[in-house]
Amino acid sequence: MAAIQNAKFAETTFLLADRADWQSTALNLFEPLVNKHCEKSQIVLERVQVDLATDDGRKFIDSHVPDADIVFLPSLLTEMITENTEAQFRTNLLQMLKPGSRVVLIDHRLPAFQLVTLQWSQDLKILVQDSHEGGGVVIPPPSPWVTNNLLDGMGKRSFVRSYAMSWSVLER
């Protein structure tokens, strides 16, 4: 029992990259939540503000993605689809992913995102995919806390009150 209590937990590092400024949100909302539920030595959060569709974004992908086991892309691709930058981003990301790494796509359930998801699945192995017909996993609507604190339109974040989501987990 004493050995378990004194055991050092493995450190997990999360690198959060977004074009929006989440600094105040992180300081006011995420850090207190993480600190409440985890020992500081267990989780390290590093935040970077970078537009992944620019040259700086390409440099960021080149320097960070090869070390990543999981690349999580929440609500990113619909913006890139609108800006016609998604295909180049996909090419850049695929070049840097190491074998066995995973990509999690989650975004608004729109026909354009469904088409992009099919294109991504041609280059990567589908591990899990949201099913729209029949028994797929239902993602609940955002909670009042998420709606009020994260979907407020501040700092380039989208102002929304509800949305249907689609998701996939892909592997290189």
Lowest mean pLDDT among 8-12, 57-61, 100-104: 8-12
pTM over 0.75: no
What DSSP string describes 14-70? EEEEESS--HHHIIIIIHHHHHHHS-TTTEEEEEEE--TTSHHHHHHHHHHGGG-SE
**What is the mean predicted confidence (pLDDT) over 124-141?**
64
Contact 62, 129 (CB under 8 A): no
pLDDT band at residue 144 under the 50/70/90 scheme: confident
Q: Distance between CA atoms of 77 and 75, rounded to whole angstroms? A: 6
Quick one: which of 21, 29, 19, 144 has its CA closest to 82? Answer: 19
Contact 45, 34 (CB under 8 A): yes
Q: What is the pLDDT of residue 6?
A: 37
The pLDDT tens digits of the residues spanning 84-121 come to 888 899 999 999 999 999 998 888 777 888 888 888 88
Instruction: At 84, list the tokens.
Output: 């016609």
Q: What is the CA radius of gyration of the chain?
A: 18
Contact 117, 80 (CB under 8 A): no
Q: Is 31 left (phi over 0), alpha (psi -120 to 50) or beta?
A: alpha
Q: What is the pLDDT of residue 100?
A: 92
**How far, rounded to the nearest angstrom, does the alpha carbon of residue 56 sit from its chain's CA centroid?**
19
